[in-house]
Structure 1
Amino acid sequence: MTGLLVVTAVSAEAEAVRAGLDDQAVTVLPVGVGPAAAGAATARLLALAEAAGRPYRGVVSAGIGGGFVGRVAVGDTVLATRSVAADLGAESPEGFIPVDELGMPPELLGVGNAVPADPGLLAALRTALPGASVGAVLTVSTVTGTAAGTDALAQRHPDAVVEAMEGYGVAVAAAQAGVPFAELRTVSNPIGPRDRGAWRMKEAFAALTEAAHALR
């Protein structure tokens, strides 16, 4: 068995994580943007490691994301209690219907709309990062960019703290491989109407480097 696999969307996030690590037992790799790319690439990495007789002990989806105003602040570090496919479901005149509530047979739902973080891995990260906020992290394929969209997500997910684009895909890959999963994010911007002037990428990457020590 080998160590921890940490996957990010892009190289800049991977570099920020590596800058906070000095541990050869942690593998850090960018796997692409969005749940499909991230999930497929993570599944391949887990399968290759298992086939080589060196399965990973755990998988962490790490990177930056948008934070819900009033719940977290720009620069904060967040640990996911669960990774939620926030836009997986159906629209209706009454509003969004999560895939869990569409009446599909359990065998077709798979893990449903959300994958909880592994309790042991989450507990270890919380101990190492006592100042981190904890809550649901939403995975979306289209980043929220309006006040109405932000309000709708906040109402549907009162425990959500961050929105990102990969966690759920990575979580599904880990669940199907039977590998413990967790998600770690730092906040680069508030969710809402797009305002590049409000983004604080440098601060978010610095926070990600600082948080990476918990992955040792």
Structure 2
Amino acid sequence: MRVLVVTAVPVERDAVTRAYGAGVPVHHVPGAEIHRAGPLDVLAGGAGPASAAASAAYALASDRYGLVISAGIGGGFPGVAPVGSLVVADRIGAADLGAETPAGFVPVTDLGFGRVWHHPPRSLVRAAAGATGAATGDILTVSTVTGSSERAAALLAAHPGARAEAMEGFGVAEAADRTGVPVLEIRAVSNAVGPRDRDAWRIGDALAALTEAFGKLIPVLEGWTPHDRDDTAAG
């Protein structure tokens, strides 16, 4: 089974392929490079849900895949996902897709259209978390990275199961859903969700954790097939 892995930027892509050693072949496609490492085709698709969705959709239309993974570094919510840890999503959510109203934020589903959650296969989530030691929970996709304690508290109040936030997972999941391919999201935590303190970020440690995680995922991915999709749900 071939697996498409979509990261935001090249350093995340390289962290994933590093798990398979140096010198991976590169396949050029219009506007992008796909780095082939073992069963993985790894693509740096750009930052944000729109770029991630477009890049994933193009790759999915160009080849056959049994699984799509959104991977990279991200912010962890304090107390549940410390810096340096890993999170595997049991739900991938669009945290800011909707409308502001006098009564507060309303998700797009309450407006009568769209969706705000994607559910990876539970068997795969369990296997990935077990192999890597990752926590499981909601990973929120945001278009604007959280930069204050107030926003972090509001997100946790709205999504008590949140463990991490990033900017691409929901876009990748939307593309995967359109083609009927299951999706997984894994994040290595580089910083705490809340006030932006770049001096406290540990990007290098998070990238190293991402490499280590994909090394441990090799037997999981080799042993899992789409037929193992046991209980995904729409949302």
TM-score normalised per structure 2 = 0.83
1:120 alignment partner in structure 2: 123
Measure, in 2, the Cα distance between the counterparts of 1:150 and 1:123: 27
> How do residues 85-104 of structure 1 correspond to structure 2 at under 5 angstroms?
85-102=94-111, 104=112
For 1:15-51, what per-residue CA distance to the aligned partner results, in whole angstroms no more than 9, with x for missing partners? Answer: 01111125522111111100000001101100111xx
Distance 1:200 1:174 in 2: 30
Offset, 1:119: 2.4
Matched residue type, 2:203: M
Residue aligned with 1:205, SS: helix
Asked if 2 retains the 8 angstrom alpha-carbon contact of 1:21 and 1:215, the reply is: no
Q: Root-mean-square deviation (CA), in Å?
A: 1.2
Shift of 1:140: 0.5
> Which residue is equivalent to 2:9?
10
Distance 1:180 1:127 in 2: 19
SS of 1:96's partner is strand
CA distance in structure 2 between the partners assigned to 1:21 and 1:88 by the alignment:
36
What is the aligned counterpart of 1:43 among 57, 75, 79? Answer: 57
Displacement of 1:95 in angstroms is: 1.2
Contact 1:84 1:115 in 2 (8 A): yes
Supply the distance in 1 between the matched residues of 2:130 and 2:198 (Cα, whole angstroms).
34
Which letter maps to 1:70? G
Give runs of aligned pairs for residues 130-149 of structure 1, distance below 5 A: 131-149=133-151
Per chain length, whose mean CA-contact separation is higher, i.e. which structure has more relative contact order (CA < 8 Å, sep 6+)? 1
Is this contact kept in 2: 1:26–1:215, CA < 8 A?
Answer: no
Residue identity matched to 2:17: R
Q: Which amino acid aligns with 2:47?
A: V
> Which one-letter code corresponds to 1:88 in the other structure?
L
Distance in 2 (alpha carbons) for counterparts of 1:214 and 1:100: 37
Gaps of 5+ in 2: 22-36, 219-235
Instruction: Note the residue ranges of structure 1 that are not aligned, 5 or more in a row.
Output: 50-54
Counterpart CA distance in 2 for 1:24 and 1:16 is 14
Shift, 1:117, TM fit:
1.1
Question: Does the aligned pair in 2 maintain the 1:121–1:180 contact within 8 Å?
Answer: no
Residue matched to 1:72: 81
Q: Encode CA deviations 1:85-123: one digit per residue, 9 max, x unaligned.
A: 000011112211111111x2xxx42xx011111223323
Separation in 2 of the partners of 1:188 and 1:158? 21
1:157 aligns with 2:159: yes
**1:84 pairs with 2:84:** no
Shift of 1:146: 1.1
Q: 2:178 & 2:217 partners in 1: Cα distance? A: 22
Q: Could you say which residue in structure 2 is the equivalent of 1:25?
A: 39
